[in-house]
Chain A
């Protein structure tokens, strides 16, 4: 089988390109530590997520020095917390979101950031973020979840460490 010289060159360039892509992503995932969603969150009973060890009563908890956990329950058509009351977390702290759904599949994204996950009944999405700026982030449900899907939104208020101390947040031990 005859392969033209230009074709060989092109083929070699294509391989280099592919290798470069994969290398970039590997570096981005391991080196720069970009948070991604995996299976760490575990599973829960979709009808009663809080009954499981993998999920708590929705809300913000302090889990250590400068470490916080936020449990969010999504259901048609609100995030609890997030929609009726904003999620308040401190800046410059390690904030881990645990998000699940007790009805259909939803999405959870902080607009314009890479805090972005599917919210699937029975699964807990776990993702850790550090906000380095005090500001408001908007939450959007980005997966179609029913007739009023477009109305499903919320806010995350990132406040400075000082402002946050004044709040009382329950402390828990996460293993």
Chain B
């Protein structure tokens, strides 16, 4: 029975989440196109923005894609995963809807303040602060309230997963947690622990400050709280992609997951290690002792472990699937995979691109090598491979497979869909390789005009290629990405608007049992309370002292003494 017929209410909830996420994706993608044409100099004069508004566009791109699109897609996808794997409706749908509306209101508030940057004469504030909103750059209070509502809304939707799980547990004492549910809960344990940092930053400091209730905030303390959340958030994006790679992808390949217990181990490692690593975004920050940066680096490298394990399990599962389909030979099995099926090819290509992103990430993570590329265009080159492809393209693959199941409609425009993942990957290869090389030559990120005013590209000294050629690849790659995005949206809109009940759906939601199941793995793996406890201890070790010293030297202003600014001294 199709998901929408069995769980119509849950399917509706997933549809709304996906719908809002797709709107954010469309607008954010358009902004991406504008960026890649503006900052490279192509059509700069033809575009209807000036250099200052480039930062309005960039804020919109970062917020809509990295924060809004991701959060809505994840929360919706997890509603499906929980319902399907526990095989029961949500415990209290109203809780999930409340969370959804909080996220929607928050997104609307933030979007209005950002978009007002295009028409500053209108009275809706401004928020040209980029998605990292480092104080003392200041946005309208509605921007911060919106950001807070987005995060808190996701917490409320998350609470629904735990409530539903609790009901299931009451009915099924002693059973192992179904794998997808385990993955959802583990991801959200990590999310609660880490997004707490940004919530404190926004609610305790930035909202009161933007309303004028406090006169200043400590720039280092607030950005530290941001990055306390800013790294784990990338695992909040990645783990849903892992869920898809572990549980859906092997089925699409014609096989089954290699090992259920190993998948659980991987998620437990992420719960433990995702948060105490944020200082690796602050290697070049003054005011943080090198020792703390070193601890963060060690933890970061340990995080390679679950990702390497994932690479193994996913590839092994795909090979198993291909051999089930009759493939032979060392590499011959690769050809037997269903590359013409967009759900499969999107996810498999996303995984492949993620491997490349992992390599450039290891460079970022090296405390000293980082100095060469910090805040250069290398960094966007890196994360368009990770969140921009490993996450985004995987979610497109999930959509090709899941949207028919939550709407009861056949996927439309199958040819466009089949080509789309490949167009995306070609565009990304062009844009990202040029960004990486440009970064090595020192080309900065987050800038409307990266070249020097008097000397143009002269000061940059590329190891391979030329600055002009890189700019061209970024512009062409960005355009192809936008084309691929439009193809995806055409398929989605076409499917959504098509008539339902036409023939039997060509997809179904059953997921075959893994080759080795959970039965003989240690039960402690399922005990998320234990893992959450250890994760908190690791966070205290990594963050306790540095946060204490930032607060002790003046909670609102460094160099002033703990409460001095509050007491008006």
Contacts and interface: CB of A to CB of B under 8 A. Distances in A.
B274 interface: no
B223 to A, nearest CB: 7
A2 B261 CA distance: 9
Interface stretch (B186-194, B205-213, B279-287, B413-421): B279-287
A142 B376 contact: yes
Contacts of B520: 1-2
Interface stretch (B78-86, B96-104, B130-138, B144-152): B130-138
A24 B367 CA distance: 10
B368 A46 contact: no
A147 B283 contact: no
A125 interface: yes
Contacts of B219: 46, 104-105, 120-123
Interface residues of B, number: 74
Interface stretch (B160-168, B243-251, B294-302, B325-333): B294-302
B540 interface: no
A15 B312 CA distance: 14
Contacts of B374: 109, 116, 142
A142 B443 CA distance: 9
Interface string A22-56: 10110011000010111101111110000010000
A109 to B, nearest CB: 7
A117 B304 CA distance: 26
Interface stretch (B196-204, B344-352, B557-565): B557-565
Contacts of A141: 444
Contacts of B63: none
Contact of A43 (B128, B293, B450, B553): B553
A77 to B, nearest CB: 12
Residue among A6, A122, A123 with most chain B CB within 10 A: A122
Interface string A113-152: 1111111111111100000000000101111111111110
Contacts of B302: 18
Interface residues of A, number: 65
B220 interface: yes
B309 A145 contact: no
B259 interface: yes
Given A1-B520, A7-B262, A124-B286, A114 B371 contact: yes
A64 B374 CA distance: 31
A38 B290 contact: yes
Given A109-B444, A150-B447, A153-B453, A120 B305 contact: no
B468 interface: no
Given A17-B304, A114-B371, A138-B459, A38 B218 contact: no
Nearest to B362: A21
Contacts of A3: 259, 262
A120 to B, nearest CB: 5
B119 to A, nearest CB: 16
Contact of B368 (A29, A45, A148): A29
Contact of A37 (B218, B285, B316, B558): B285
A142 B259 contact: no
B52 A112 contact: no
B516 interface: yes
Contacts of B507: none
Contacts of A81: none
Nearest to B454: A153
B273 to A, nearest CB: 12
B461 interface: yes
A153 B557 CA distance: 28
Contacts of A107: 375, 444
Contacts of B128: 147
B56 to A, nearest CB: 10
Contacts of B305: 11, 14-15, 18
Interface in B164-190: none
A112 B286 contact: no
B487 interface: no
B289 interface: yes
Contacts of B450: 150
Contacts of B218: 122
B533 interface: no
A103 interface: yes
Interface string B339-377: 000000000000000000000001001111101101110
Contact of A22 (B301, B313, B461): B301
Nearest to A32: B368
B446 interface: yes
A51 to B, nearest CB: 10
Contacts of B444: 107, 109, 140-142
B295 to A, nearest CB: 11
Contacts of B220: 120, 122-123
A21 to B, nearest CB: 5
B368 A36 contact: yes
A169 interface: no
Residue among A103, A112, A125 with most chain B CB within 10 A: A112
A90 B530 CA distance: 58
B286 A41 contact: yes
B304 A14 contact: yes
Interface in B439-459: 441-442, 444-450, 452-453, 455, 459
A21 B366 CA distance: 8
B27 interface: no
Nearest 10 CB-CB pairs, A to B?
A114-B371, A111-B442, A122-B558, A43-B559, A125-B286, A147-B52, A142-B375, A123-B287, A138-B459, A123-B286
10 contacts: A43-B558, A44-B559, A52-B559, A105-B134, A111-B442, A112-B460, A119-B286, A120-B219, A123-B220, A149-B447
Interface of A: 1-4, 6-7, 10-11, 14-15, 17-18, 21-22, 24-25, 28-29, 34, 36-39, 41-46, 52, 103-105, 107, 109, 111-126, 138, 140-151, 153
Given A4-B316, A107-B444, 16 more contacts: A2-B520, A6-B312, A15-B305, A21-B301, A25-B369, A28-B366, A34-B371, A41-B287, A45-B557, A109-B376, A112-B460, A118-B282, A120-B220, A123-B220, A149-B55, A149-B448
